[in-house]
Amino acid sequence: MGNLLKTQEEIEIITIFTKKGPQPHIFKWAGQKFKVEKINLVYDQKIGNNKLIYFSVSSQDNYFKLVFNTNNLKWYIEEVYHE
């Protein structure tokens, strides 16, 4: 049975910018580097003048919910699901 961790930590991330928008590539969290192997879901939410883009990604048998804040151009990790 897996574990779900909810957080709101700012993370360092290598981002690829495409015509469709930003895409996470490699990120550092909890002292480890994770390469995004698959983007499972992308959606956005507007809060006031702020647009947040959410990415559900897979890496090393873990699942992460990453958030890109288009206002301050920072990335955050919101959820981690791991075995």
pLDDT reported for residue 1: 52
Q: Tell me, rounded to whole angstroms, the distance of Cα 78 from its chain centroid.
A: 7
pTM across the whole model: 0.90
pLDDT band (50, 70, 90) for residue 7: confident
Q: What is the pLDDT of residues 40-80, one digit of tens each?
A: 999 999 988 889 999 999 998 899 999 999 999 999 999 99
User: How long is the chain?
Assistant: 83
